[in-house]
Chains A and B, each alone.
Chain A
């Protein structure tokens, strides 16, 4: 029965080829646009996850603050080995973990100077680092040398520094005393978007000396999971486990550590050590507006186009019903039920919507794949926001299926009113209709 209905709907659509092709093309265009914009947003998110989890955060972080006085806080975690042991015990989803020093300093070179967020790392323990950070000059292994620093291309340009050049890092210690470290540029790496514009990597022991830290003290323990999606649940569990083990643990607060350091921790009246467990999304929340903006822009654009398509469908069906009023009257006169008339018109719209969205999805996937394969260079001014040097689009089948289902459903729903209008026509009136 449904086969016959489909045949009737398809024939009706084919009878008005030009009009339906135009409408189908509009639906296809909206779907294709949605697929491409969705791919771009997913690409930004994937790039953000990859660069952020390499440069400044694990999937989950056990960071914290040490306050010598209520007004002097430093991003430090004491007894890092004990913390790491607790993480290993409480997180079966663990892939690997690393200890990273945290700090900031003014870097001064012969030509220029700039403020840098410093991460102290032991390159031998950084499994994911080599995947993301690509040296333009120097070797990553040289970062194991005392006094070695890795800076990114943009920073090198600003400082006028090359591999082998000396930099002076000037920063206050955890107690607020001025200190300096003379370091050597060991690696200049390719920039990877916004994060690499202000982050530099220093050999862990050199960072420890700059801040006069005790052995066993670090900035944060970065926890990498087999499935990054589990980060929220793991963070919540770790908070409880660390508190049970005797640490003072801060309430969950979805802000990066430096924002808490500047705006929150210093204003609180406590001293000593507190741990702070965050997810990678918390640590890059200051950049999430980029993703939100892309999603909002896509949403607004798609909504406008969808409204146009819906109005188009309603209009087209209204015209079709007007043209086919006598036909409807005849069908009703030979016994076709109202429900059946409604069903046939909805089926027509549904079929048109499905064909349009499928064609659009196919075109969108092809365009996204083409753009991704073309490795189009992103202009420098936009790199900061897209967090990519080359345009990367990530299209997931499940997302495309959701777009297809959503738009097809919207176009079908748009046909409800005209179809209902057709169904409620009285046979005698319809058969007398002229036009």
Chain B
């Protein structure tokens, strides 16, 4: 028994595998991933969301994403299809509200809500806060296709509410863009695999630097294998938005 404990301690304190990243380097990578996508100001983008589900017709949504990263404000306004026109999500403080103009009512939803019933989560369109929400550990440096990547395992920090308690990231060693992401359930079961094949940058006045964003995101449901969602981010605009934009009244006015 004592020998087994000593062996475990030795393994824990023992040398890292050759080429392994230190915890400080790992944390730095995650911070860099966040930092490259951080804007610090306002953000507006047109997004196309195509959802494919087994035994259902494909649905294409068009929505505008508004963000004010300084105070974590977020709003989605659906433009298409016609049945979804005027619907929207608004985050005020820590609350995510959903508005349906057909009933003229606001409903408070969980932040882990599936947006429009698709496999997309609020976090997919929000500012990246990986370092704030997760503790990362290095798993391996490997090849993903023709890219050299760091493979990291991120576990949710205690008392932080996130949709997925464990995620695995493949981060491009050259650019620090996330190329692949796997999200696991509490049971350890793989829930969703995401790919980010195209990244783009845009200059931000508020940041005084470049802001990177994934122009294309592909989400594959690993529980219901036939379900997948494609998101295309278009027309990113980092100019300052109206001060009164992130209000229920503004979102309601869009459907009148």
Contact = CB atoms under 8 A, between A and B. Distances in A.
B110 A172 contact: yes
Contacts of A170: 185, 191, 223
Contacts of B183: 178
B60 to A, nearest CB: 22
Interface stretch (A66-74, A286-294, A336-344, A347-355): A66-74
Contacts of B109: 71, 266
Interface in B4-56: 54-55
Contact of B161 (A70, A177, A179, A262): A177
A113 B95 CA distance: 30
A181 interface: yes
Interface of A: 68-72, 106, 108, 112-113, 168, 170, 172-173, 175-182, 212, 262-263, 266-267
Interface in B180-233: 183, 185-187, 189, 191, 223-224
Contacts, number: 77
A179 B183 CA distance: 11
Contacts of A68: 161
Contacts of B224: 106, 108, 113
Contacts of B161: 68-69, 72, 175-177
A113 B56 CA distance: 12
A378 B34 CA distance: 60
Given A71-B109, A177-B164, 4 more contacts: A113-B54, A168-B189, A172-B110, A177-B165
Contacts of B162: 177
B108 A267 contact: yes
A168 B189 CA distance: 10
B191 A70 contact: no
A391 B185 CA distance: 45
B107 A106 contact: no
A93 B164 CA distance: 46
Contacts of B186: 173, 177-180, 212
Interface string B102-119: 000011111110000000
B130 interface: no
Among B112, B162, B187, max chain A CB count under 10 A is at B187
B185 A180 contact: yes
B236 interface: no
B163 A176 contact: yes
7 contacts: A106-B224, A178-B112, A180-B187, A180-B191, A182-B187, A182-B189, A266-B108
Nearest to B165: A177
Contact of B94 (A69, A178, A182, A212): A69
A263 B112 CA distance: 18
Contacts of A178: 112, 163-165, 183, 185-186, 191
A263 B107 contact: yes
A17 B224 CA distance: 74
Contacts of A70: 95, 108
B110 A72 contact: yes
B238 interface: no
Contacts of A108: 223-224
Contacts of B112: 172, 176-178
A186 B152 CA distance: 39
Given A108-B223, A113-B54, A170-B191, A176 B165 contact: no
Contacts of A112: 54-55
Contact of A176 (B108, B110, B223): B110
Nearest to A177: B165
Interface in B112-143: 112
Given A106-B223, A168-B223, A177-B162, A266 B107 contact: yes
A263 B76 CA distance: 21
B223 A71 contact: no
Contacts of A106: 223-224
Contacts of A168: 189, 223
A173 B96 CA distance: 18
The 4 closest A-B pairs by CB, nearest first: A176-B112, A179-B186, A266-B108, A180-B189
A112 B94 CA distance: 36
Nearest to A264: B107
A108 B183 CA distance: 18
Nearest to B112: A176
A84 B116 CA distance: 40
Among B54, B106, B186, B189, max chain A CB count under 10 A is at B186
Contacts of A172: 110, 112, 163
A173 B187 CA distance: 11
A72 B95 CA distance: 9
A180 B191 CA distance: 9
B187 A179 contact: yes
B187 A71 contact: no
A305 to B, nearest CB: 40
A72 B183 CA distance: 21
Contacts of A262: 107
Among A71, A106, A112, max chain B CB count under 10 A is at A71
Contact of B187 (A175, A181, A263, A267): A181
